[in-house]
Structure 1
Amino acid sequence: MSANKKRDKLSKVEKKKLQKEEDEQRQREEEAARLLAEQQELKRQEEERKEQEEHQRLELKDRERREDELSELRHLLDEMQNAVARWKDEASAKTKWERYMQCDGTPDPSIPQEINSFISLWREDTEVQIGSVLENCSLAQRLIEELEDLLNDTPQTAGSSSDTHRHQETILSLQELIHSKRNQATEEILKWSRANMDIETGNMQTVIQDADATLCLWANLNKNPRFKGYHFHEAGFGFELPKQLAVSDVAVRILHTRFDHLSCLSAGAHRISQGSIKSEESHPSTGEVGDEDTEQQGNAEESLDHKDEDSVRSETRKSFASVASEKEEKNARHDKEPEEQRWGEGRRDSLQEDTAIAGERDSYSPPEAPVTLVETEVVDLHQYTPLGGVFYFDAFRIPPQSQLVNGWDMRELSDTGLQRFPYPVDESQLHSSTSRPLDEGGALVSPPVGVTVTVPNSVVFPQDPQVARWDAVACQWTRESIGIITYDTSLKKISFQMDSFYPFALLQDMHINMPFQGWELRPLGLNAAVLVVTAAVTEVHFTVKGHRCMLSSATEYELPHVLGRWMSPSALQKAMRRAGVNVFVSEHSGKYVSINAKEPLIEQAAYEQMALLSCAVAFSWSRWNSHCGREQLVVQACEHLEAGPVPEKAWSLYLLNAERTWRLRMREQSESFSTALDGGSEFHATFLHMLRDCMGAPGHGRVRDADPFFVDCVLQLLMATRVLSYC
């Protein structure tokens, strides 16, 4: 027992000893850990101090050279802009000279005397044969497009507001004349309907096409009550009529124009009105001054000259809203105005007449028709755009036909012109004894009319096209009164019903390709580059060489009239928008697309510097651009002088803001965002100087030798796509 107790006692002593040793060991370890932590903290603080000192040194260095770098950048941009401006002026002068030397009678739409003479002579021309009319309409459409390009390329300044207003008035006059001449040609064809009757159907039908329009015309001569509709196989268009129209003296026209002359009436009138207000504020009317000076001189003849000149000047500054209220005043001085200044007045009167005719039809309140209507909705042209032109779906009264009497071909003469056939109609307007159902109010219940069109091959619809018809009273596109829409994807045919005859168009969301999924700008050599934009639906490749660019590829789309064709940036944007492949933003796009909005001035400065370096440096999108806030940009970039794709390891991240630019330590694959400066790098006031520090002699040579026109072309594409905000 005593031995066991002794062993237990020794064991307790040993335990205490072991415990003491363990405590001492733990204390030594804790002390060592504390000393190590202190050393590490001191080292960290020393590194932070050195890093802060280096950071301050680099900031001081950046501030010292900031003005020089900014001045150099401004100088480079000014040189580029001045060179481009001189080149555009020379190109414009050369174009005018070539037009003058052609001597083909084609007017210059920017010269008032020439275009006014053309409009006056064409308005007075009595030629109504369809071939000649279509030829003149094509010429007028080219003049319209030339004026539209001129308006788009001309900066809006106080001095150019009167020219802008005059060009817009000219466009409206040409559009009205095109519409009027086509109606006259349609009337001429219908006058000879019986002579051109198809023996098989007993009716007259014809299809006439040119590069700008397709005219499908059908005249109901047989009045077969079992008639359901007709399909123009050559054009891919067709229509369906209710029995009430099948037994009436009615002609149906489907006129498809490749251009859109209606949307501008909805959105353009407001712009013209605003321009007029600015013009009036900037340029007060000189009429009173001229009259006062004339009265002081007492020269009546000179007073008349002043009044004529002032009336012309004020006429170009009037908004469309004020024209109607001043109509009486203009009629009073009509005899005093030169003929070339009076064509605009006829245009407005004609527009009012057309609107009144359409309003008479649209104001008629038809009974409820057996058709499921789309929810009433006005089309927002900032969100949707008509594609493939406009389809004018009209019904007309058949003009009096010629009759052979005693060997004489006699025809009743009428000066009413082409008359619309009102539909829905009341009972007195139909020429048939067939009984018809009436509602409680005695009005005729009119079934809807159907129409089928083939989507033009010149446009693409990633989604099923929407349909809208033109409201002539409100001057807007609307989905009201359209129902039972069906779309055959394989045949690209769309069919629907309307309660009456209206112009209609096929719509697509302008922002279906936004926001972008990625982008890359890569050099292809001196004055050559490729911009790849991976959009929501397609991927497009833009190739830039010199002052021109082209759409080199667009996945899943076949657009032979756009792909592979060298154009100016503005012409390419216009062609792609018309084709339905839109990757270009507008001032309103941010309202309809969820974007990573950036400060506009910072974004524009980035595009300018990227364009200056685009023949030697590759740029790409970064997922961290959406993590750095509105005031900063994050872009991947690297020098790239060889052909082919950029290796993944070659990319570096750069952060840009209003103060400076620097290379980031982090990589695209990093797990978290950090603004830490990369080792061995410096701060620079501009992206241009930041990247030039990383370039070799060959890259510097390319940037120095870059053509200003190439730089401007790349800049226009970047500004049009705005990849830094929309990706």
Structure 2
Amino acid sequence: MSDTPEGELSEADVGRYRQTIRDLQELLSYKLDEATVEMLKKATAEADIESGNLQKISKLDDVTVMLWANLNKNPRFKSFEFPGEGFTFELPKPLATADVGIRVIKTAFDHLSPHCRTFYPRKKKVDKSAAQEEEEKEEEEGTKDGEEGEKEGEDDDEKPLDADADDAKSVASGRKSAVSAAGSTREKEEGENEGKEGEEKGEGEEGEEREGEGEEKKPTTAEAEEEEELLELDEDVIDLRQFSPLGGVMYLELLQLPPQPVSARGWSIVEGSCLSAYLRQFCSLGGVMYLELLQLPPQLVCEIFVDESLQRIAYPGEPEDLKKLGATLTLATPPEEKPAAKETSQANMLLEGPPKEGEKGEGEQQGEQPEQPEADAAPPAPVQPTYITPPVGVTIKLPSTVAFYEEPQPARWSWAGKHWRLDGFTDIKYDEENKTLSFKTNTFGLLTVIQDSHLNMPFQSWEIRPRGNNAALFTIIAAIVELEIEIKDDRCCLSQPEDTPELDHLRKKWMAPKDLVKALRASGVNIFPEPDSSKFVSMTKKDEEAEMLTYRCMAMTLPAFAFSWSKWNAEAGEDRIVMQAAEHLEDEPVNEDDWCCYVQSVRRAKKLKINEFSEEFSVDHAEGSELRSNMYHMLTDSASEKARERIQAASYKFLHCAGELIRATRLFTYS
């Protein structure tokens, strides 16, 4: 589903694929539960010699199952760490003496976030009324633009080279003309039919318009719906557009131990299905032998069968359920001397309302309350004791393949709301040196670690230069980290930084651009903005058409030209893209004196007179240069013969790979 472009899959196929995913997840969960039950049944036989408890680890490439069973029930138990997995838990005293087990399922992937509504970008809903008004305005401007376009064509030869301030407006009007031309015939026909009705209602509509001139402008329907959607989110709910779960998911579960086998006189006796087999075998030999060996009354046969499915324990749960496990809970308040009964009865009298007429006695009229017989007095309400469920301590060794540039935060999954939440944690501590995160929680369930997705935005600077035939080096100095990405043919790889061990598994590993983007994000290094990243990070707003045109021209001329960040891009306005460029045919750093500033708008490109060290920005063109429609023609027309040959001989795979990587970073908007 992720590899297929949007719109090519039908809704039926998407629904069928999603159902397949759910079926596979349920099957995997069922298999893990069955395997866990089988391991817990044999917990006594496979218990650790030193501790007397079951300690098992089963590890695959993407899934690790850790199982611990409390067989010893030592009240002095403090904590246990699964060796080699970096997961430590600390049970409170009530659970340390109960028949419980701990299962931790750690996955290297996150299969829950896609179910959250904040996982995908919010689609803007177009307000139809506003769209109709815009179309009407476009039609009115269309005729004016046509007349101005004829005059502009006549005076185009005399227009100065630096007069590109209105490029975006003229191109935008050209885009509007197609819409106005297509709808002109239809609007004329509708206008003739509605002309008479419009004349009759004209005076009334003018009055309404005048009355509405003083009213404040109301937000559109799309903006209102987006604001309502954001307000619906609780402050503890994690917005996955801003934060990213890293390092996979951990499922911490509190389990009830199944009956363990008991050895007596050479026999192994187990409550459950195994015992039913023994009973059938013994009954075939006669009832006397059955009664002598087990000493069980016949009616106990129906009560002894237990459910063999995995039994999860809710914590905090009902005290009765924990007492069945042998857990001893402490009272939050002693159930002694509770004067709430009298107060409650008085409150009930107030809630019943004033007495009806004729019911007041002489004492009540004088302000005295009549005495009530003891039989009519309300019985004291039973006092419900409140039990304390102490929190569980958890210490997690953060993954060695994820770089954390700020203090990570633990999060828990809410099945009811289908989202990640920040509440339910106390005593959060982060050890940066040992890369451990410890906290206390009184809820078991799904856990993960989150980090801000936009830590490395905006970029400080960037540079991309060729390195021979069909090869290039892409350098980005982000807000925290500096990256170097090598491009070769249709593959790319991370080459720098070398001082970050969390990225060792990616260094010098060649992959497709989209795979590198996915791998870097999963490693905590996100330099690839999303469509709505502008809501969470400062940016330089640019015309999207001009920006995408510039990226294409950069990729097509990259075999012979180097490009770099320019400080003037932030001051050039929304309609202009400013960069530095230089012809570069050697595999070495670019000389500072070779850089020249260029500007690209929607309609034209030119070489600027200023350089990176000028005192102020100017759109004046360099002496001897000419205007071109885009940066590709601007650079190739002034390039050397060798540079043009290299550009013509470049592989289309290399050009596509470089263009895809440049577009993913949105260099001119987020730097």
Same-fold call, TM cutoff 0.5: yes
Does 2:476 match 1:533? yes
Contact 1:376 1:480 in 2 (8 A): no
8 Å CA contact retained: 1:426, 1:443: no
Q: CA deviation at 1:159?
A: 5.0
Q: In structure 2, give the amino acid aligned to 1:428.
A: E
Give the deviation of 1:400 after TM superposition. Answer: 2.0
- Match for residue 586 of structure 2? 642
Partner of 1:59: none
Bigger helix fraction: 1
Residue in 2 that maps onto 1:399: 258
Quick check: 1:247–1:432 contact (8 Å CA) kept in 2? yes
The answer to whether the 8 A contact 2:465-2:472 is kept is yes
1:410 positional shift? 3.8
Aligned length, in residue pairs: 477
Code of the residue aligned with 2:631 in structure 1: it is F
Letter in 2 for 1:499: N
Task: Give the counterpart letter for 1:691 in structure 2.
Answer: L
Q: What is the distance in 1 between the residues matched to 2:485 and 2:397?
A: 30
Q: Counterpart amino acid of 1:667?
A: N
What CA distance in whole angstroms lies between the structure 1 residues aligned with 2:487 and 2:576? 28
Are residues 1:459 and 2:402 paired? yes
What stretches of structure 2 of length at least 5 have no aligned partner? 125-233, 274-305, 336-383
Matched, 1:623 2:567: yes
What is the deviation of 1:588?
1.9
Aligned to 2:72: 222
Q: For residue 487 of structure 2, what is the aligned residue in structure 1?
A: 544
Secondary structure in 1 matching 2:331? coil
Partner of 2:385: 442
1:601 aligns with 2:601: no
Distance 1:621 1:477 in 2: 38
Q: Please name the residue that 1:662 is paired with.
A: 606
Q: CA deviation at 1:433?
A: 7.8
Rounded Cα–Cα distance in structure 1 between residues aligned with 2:649 and 2:329? 83
Do the aligned partners of 1:259 and 1:388 also contact (CA within 8 Å) in 2? yes
Residues 557 and 160 from structure 1, CA distance in 2 versus in 1: closer, same or farther, beyond 3 angstroms?
farther
RMSD across aligned positions (CA): 2.1
TM superposition shift of 1:200: 1.7
CA contact (8 A) 1:221 1:249 kept: yes
Whether the 8 Å CA contact 2:37–2:308 is kept in 1: the answer is no
Q: Give me the TM-score of the superposition, normalised by structure 2.
A: 0.68
Q: Which amino acid aligns with 1:155?
A: P
Matched, 1:511 2:454: yes
1:127-180 residue CA offsets vs partner (Å, 9 max, x unmatched): xxxxxxxxxxxxxxxxxxxxxxxx233111265443333333322322232222
Distance (Å, rounded) in 2 between the aligned partners of 1:686 and 1:433: 76
| Residue number in structure 1 paired with 2:532 | 588
| Residue 634 (structure 2) pairs with residue 704 (structure 1) | no
Q: Deviations over 1:567-620 (max 9, x none)?
A: 001111111111111111111211111011211111111111110111111000
* Bigger shift: residues 479-488 or 184-193: 184-193
> Against the structure 1 CA distance between its residues 410 and 268, is the aligned structure 2 distance closer, same or farther, given a 3 Å change threshold?
farther
Amino acid aligned to 2:511: M
> What's 1:388 paired with?
247
- Secondary structure at the residue paired with 1:549? strand
Matches within 5 A, 1:309-324: none
TM-score (norm 1): 0.63
- The match for 1:311 is none
Measured in 1, the distance between the counterparts of 2:48 and 2:639 equals 76
1:537–1:464 Cα change, 3 Å: same
Q: Which residue of 2 aligns with 1:475?
A: 418
Give 1:508 deviation, angstroms.
1.1
SS for the counterpart of 2:521 is helix
SS in 2 for 1:717: helix
Asked if the contact 1:514–1:726 (Cα under 8 Å) also holds between the matched residues in 2, the reply is yes
Which residue of the partner structure matches residue 723 of structure 1? 667
- Which residue pairs with 1:522 in the alignment? 465
Alpha-carbon contact 1:388-1:456 (below 8 Å) kept: yes
Q: Which residue of 1 aligns with 2:317?
A: 425
1:242 aligned residue (85, 88, 92):
92
Helix, strand or coil at the partner of 2:43: coil
Unaligned runs of 5+ in 1: 1-150, 275-374
> CA 1:725–1:433 in 2, change beyond 3 Å: closer, same or farther?
closer
Q: 1:161 to 1:637 in 2, by over 3 A?
A: farther
Quick check: 1:172 aligned with 2:44? no
**Aligned mates of 1:691, 1:461 — CA distance in 2:** 41
- Relative to structure 1, is the Cα distance of residues 641 and 272 closer, same or farther in structure 2, using a 3 angstrom cutoff? closer
Which residue is 2:504 aligned to? 560
Partner of 2:44: 194
Distance change in 2, residues 1:260/1:433 (3 Å):
closer
What is the identity, as a one-letter code, of the residue corresponding to 2:609?
Answer: R
Q: Show the counterpart of 2:429.
A: 486
SS at 1:153 equivalent: coil
Answer yes or no: is the 8 Å Cα contact 1:609–1:688 preserved in 2. Answer: yes
Task: Determine the structure 1 residue equivalent to 2:148.
Answer: none
The answer to whether the aligner puts 1:185 opposite 2:35 as a matched pair is: yes
Q: What percent of counterpart residues are identical?
A: 40
Cα deviation code 1:46-90 (max 9, x no counterpart): xxxxxxxxxxxxxxxxxxxxxxxxxxxxxxxxxxxxxxxxxxxxx
Question: d(CA) in 2 for partners of 1:426 and 1:448?
Answer: 15
- Between the aligned partners of 1:273 and 1:591, the Cα distance in structure 2 is 14
Once residues 666 and 120 of structure 2 are traced to their aligned partners in structure 1, the CA distance between those partners, rounded to angstroms, is 27
**Alpha carbons 2:331, 2:385 under 8 Å: kept:** no
For the 8 Å contact 2:56–2:67, the answer to whether it is kept is: yes
Q: Residues 532 and 272 from structure 1, CA distance in 2 versus in 1: closer, same or farther, beyond 3 angstroms?
A: closer
Q: In structure 2, what residue type is equivalent to 1:497? A: K
| Structure 2 match to 1:26 | none
SS of residue in 1 equivalent to 2:105:
strand
**What's the secondary structure of 2:387's corresponding residue?**
coil
Provide closer, same or farther for how the CA distance between residues 611 and 676 of structure 1 changes in structure 2, counting only shifts above 3 A. Answer: same
